[in-house]
Structure 1
Amino acid sequence: MSAPTSEWLRAHPQARTIRAAACDLNGVPRGKRMPIPSAEKVLTDGTRFPMSVLNLDIWGEDIEDSPLVFETGDEDGQLFATDRGFVPMPWLDAPTGLLPIWMFHEDGRPYDGDPRHALARVADRYTAMGLTPVVAVELEFFLIDDSTRNLQMPVSPKSGKRRKGAEILSIRALDAFDKFFTELYDACEAMEIPADTAISEAGLGQFEINLVHVADPLRAADDAWLFKMLVKGLARRHGFAASFMAKPYDDYSGSGMHAHFSVLDKDGTNIFDDGGPKGTPVLQHAIAGCLNALQDSTLVFAPHANSYDRLVPGSHAPTSVCWAYENRTAAIRVPSGAPVARRIEHRVAGGDVNPYLVLAAILGAAMNGIEDAELPPAPITGNSYDQNLPQVPVDWKTAIDRFESSPHVPRIFSETLISNLLMTKKQEHRDMQDLTPAEQVEIYLDTV
């Protein structure tokens, strides 16, 4: 994509204000509201805010022991527009433009604590080898009436009734909220988010929308980040909440963010395709890398206290470190279909994640495996929950410890990002101990 210009502003003279926003480590948009006259200046000169802003905890508070705060005088970073440029914000009443930005040092170096730069760093490893990841994500979310402490399915605008249970792949469930989904697809088109199929899922009021594959991991992560923002904002316009938290209901499955990827060489050939159902040795290497780093990267795939309520056996979320062909109980699935589309589906991440960090963790681990020419164990068959297999960390503290001591993670993420994320999660882990499960749901419902 070309550098962003002011063309969007000229094409949308009705726009009243803009938002300039970057993604923090928890995936939360952080930034500024500006009048239209300031928009041109942001495009040319960027804007500034403290580097510590991208390293806040889930409550939006400073990290107490972070050197980014008092030790450095809470110094500013410079933020410039990404190549996405302006996108509309259809969930707001007044016409508004959103300008995604990312952070740099004063001398122009990328700020390593910015999660978008973390993904760019991994993408550069592929570019250096003449390779291009082709990436898509599937995002699950819940529509929730949170007007009382008792979370429940919103009333259907069509029937005036509430669903009493889950309805997997139910057309009726989709049609009950047809106005919302119609507006959602219109908004995705306006924001250039490639939304594809929508289905109803296994949870109460749970839905999934797939985004189309794109040959640019940064674009894929941008799409996911903007999509989450859009769904949550638009749902509020309709009088209910949309939540990507991993597990809002004890009795129903949680929400995931499954990531699919293949890799093209400089000629546009899928390097996972051997013309048959098994895939190439490079596919095996990438799978091995993903499996090797999976336990140590679980903190990225399950970043919150509530995330671990989803990762339990028999709940449609993978808990075993294994891979398989066409098997949704495995953490790493190789879907069937035309060989030219041979790809890896990584199924561990919850819906509550930072898309930039998740794609960096997945693609970085796969590249580790490709570079090392490693081979995975044999693919499993049958139900992974019934087999004696290595398990993903089952609690937040274990995941933090594995991330901190990992030999794999430093090959994927910078020292700065690793340090910042660990400080953030340790502070959140400490403070979350004082909250009841209901209070935890309250903080996560809208935030993640």
Structure 2
Amino acid sequence: MRDSLILMNPSDLVCFLKKDPAEFTREDIIRFCEANRIEMVNFRYAAEDGKLKTLNFVISSKEHLDTILSDGERVDGSNLFSFIEAGSSDLYVIPRYRTAFVNPFAEVPTLELLCSFYDSDGKPLESSPEYVLRKADEEFTRRTGCTFKTLGELEYYVVSPRGDLYPGRDQKGYHSADPFVKFADLRDEAMRLIARAGGMIKYGHSEVGCFFAGDTYYEQHEIEFLPMPVEQAVEQVIIAKWILRMLGNRYGVEISFAPKITVGKAGSGMHFHMLAEKDGQNLMVEGGRLSPLARKMIAGILDVSDALTAFGNTIPTSYLRLVPHQEAPTRICWGDRNRSVVVRVPLGWIGAEGMTHDANPCETRHREERSSKQTFEYRVADGSADPYLTVAGLVVASLHGIGMPGALEAAEKLYVSGNIFRPEFKERLAELEHLPASCVESAGALAAKRAIFEKDGIFPAGMIDSRIAALKAFDDRGLNERIYGDNEAIRELVEQYIHVA
């Protein structure tokens, strides 16, 4: 099984080294570079704005390569993070070997590695987003004995000049096929390149958003990943965003992960599916239904869902997306197969046996027993999210729920069945609390519940202070009402954040 996974793996390094990326060593990286005549190495790291930064090296010798892989390099942290002062801003960036991949866009053979930040004492930088996630992950495993896994759904728009041949139907782009979708080839190429860079992809498809605005065409797509341990899950989202933007630049189109392109059209979320696993078994199902552990985790996420927006919905246009009747959450609740809730429980193949045989009567081989695929999905976050901090927040919230008195009762109370915006659910809707409607409200929610995130030293107090200040600075309370119907003001706001994170 292990050999077949390596043979079919699209990663150049995995195929060459015949190893799982988690086992890559410095010697492995050097051997690959020598054999494949790698001329350049790039250190990559996500800063406070969520975009990948780059430090380039031209490799002059084996000793030079060994040195940078062993020692990393210095960077100016004050230009990467607002909470680091210029007076003592030097940081180390140290490559994580398991993240290595060959740059598919470089003209010369180039190796890319994601890095971690370390302070002047050689300790992990407490406020670095990737270290916050690592701390949350380690605490979850320490307290539960389980592995927290997640997968991201990456939604984006392709923005291009208008083309009238085989036009798609307005807001009817879901799972469209050629020729009624124009940029499936860009998505397919992106998926292949993301897989070569180590991403584990579940599938890709066109999304609902499809419309013209004057001479501009907007087409929405989604790439969804497979469940992975949280650090790898976030890394593949960050690399995927970089690859999509690079491809967009080559195709002469813009790729936008912005939460809202215009009012009245589908927004783009960054949903995260979650599960807890032990000894290879998914613990989200018990006795043919959602397990008590899963329901406690959901209760914890709902309890802090207003504060979680501080990490997952970080710009004013985030709150143009979180409005009723747009398949986006507005009220704090959860449900099965419901796309207007904070946490959705999707179909999980529970009790759904015999479908393959029914579709293929000649198939006689019985499917091998596998661990359940059941997950639950956090639907609030969008493309402005810091994925490290958003997932770290979800891990912390899940732990909060596991230890929260009355968690199962709280989950039961916040469960909804059906479309909560239908008239017959008017009274039930009124009982549910609202998510924040602005960055300012999000900051207030985080301030009120910061102790939950700061517990066990996972989110440093200085980071929370910085996040609250940044959100308050938008001064966007009541923005939706102020610009409602003002198309020019909406257009200017969208343009301001079109290339967020």
Band of TM-score, shorter chain: 0.7 to 0.9
Q: Distance in 2 between the 1:359 and 1:228 partners?
A: 16
Match of 2:297 in 1: 286
Tell me the equivalent position of 2:348.
337
Q: Among the aligned pairs, what percent are the same residue? A: 25
Structure number with larger C-alpha Rg: 2
Give the CA deviation at 1:210: 0.8
Structure 1 unaligned segments of length 5 or more: list them. Answer: 56-62, 146-151
Report whether the alignment pairs 1:394 with 2:408.
no
Return the structure number with greater relative CO, CA threshold 8 A, min gap 6: 1
Kindly report the root-mean-square deviation, in angstroms, between the aligned alpha carbons of the 2 structures: 2.4
TM-score normalised according to structure 1 size? 0.86
Shift in CA distance, 196/270, structure 1 to aligned 2, threshold 3 Å = closer
Measure the CA separation in 2 of the matches of 1:328 and 1:136.
17
How many residue pairs are counted as aligned between the two chains? 419
Alignment CA distance shift 1:144-1:8 (3 Å): farther
**Secondary structure of 2:156 counterpart:** strand
Q: Distance in 1 between matches of 2:179 and 2:395?
A: 35
Q: 1:26: how far off? A: 2.9
TM-score (norm 2): 0.78
- Out of 225, 232, 253, the residue aligned to residue 238 of structure 2 is 225
Residues 8 and 248 from structure 1, CA distance in 2 versus in 1: closer, same or farther, beyond 3 angstroms?
Answer: farther
Q: Identify if the C-alpha distance between structure 1 residues 342 and 400 changes in structure 2 by more than 3 Å, giving closer, same or farther.
A: same
- Residues 167 and 180, structure 2, Cα contact 8 Å, conserved in 1: no
SS, match of residue 445 in structure 1? coil
- Name the SS of the counterpart of 1:199 in structure 2: strand
- The equivalent of 1:403 in structure 2 is 446
Q: 1:356 to 1:174 in 2, by over 3 A?
A: farther
Secondary structure at 1:372's aligned position in 2?
A: coil
Matches of 1:42 and 1:305, distance apart in 2: 40
Amino acid at match of 2:453: V
1: CA distance, partners of 2:53 / 2:230: 21
Q: Matches of 1:83 and 1:127 in 2, distance apart?
A: 23
Aligned residue identity for 2:115: I
Which of 98, 104, 124 does residue 138 from structure 2 map onto?
Answer: 124
**Aligned residue number for residue 372 of structure 1:** 404
CA contact (8 A) 2:42 2:112 kept: yes
Deviates more, 1:411-420 or 1:303-312: 411-420
Distance 1:385 1:299, change over 3 A: farther
Alignment of 1:45-124 (within 5 A): 45-55=71-81, 63=82, 66=83, 68-70=84-86, 73-124=87-138
Q: Which residue of 2 aligns with 1:143?
A: 158
Task: List per-residue Cα deviations over 1:27-71 (Å, max 9, x = no partner).
Answer: 11123222233644321111111222332xxxxxxx4xx4x224x
**Could you tell me how far apart the structure 1 residues matched to 2:180 and 2:230 are?**
29
Structure 2 alignment gaps of length 5 or more: 1-21, 211-218, 351-371, 423-428, 480-487
CA separation in 2, counterparts of 1:425 and 1:297?
13
Alpha-carbon distance in structure 2 between the residues aligned to 1:11 and 1:139: 35
**Shift of the alpha carbon at 1:439?**
4.3
- Maintained 8 Å contact 1:299/1:400: yes
2:170 to 148, 160, 165: 165
What SS is found at the alignment partner of 1:169? coil
Distance 1:8 1:423 in 2: 45
Match of 2:45 among 22, 33, 58: 22
8 Å contact from structure 1 (residues 273, 341) kept in 2: no
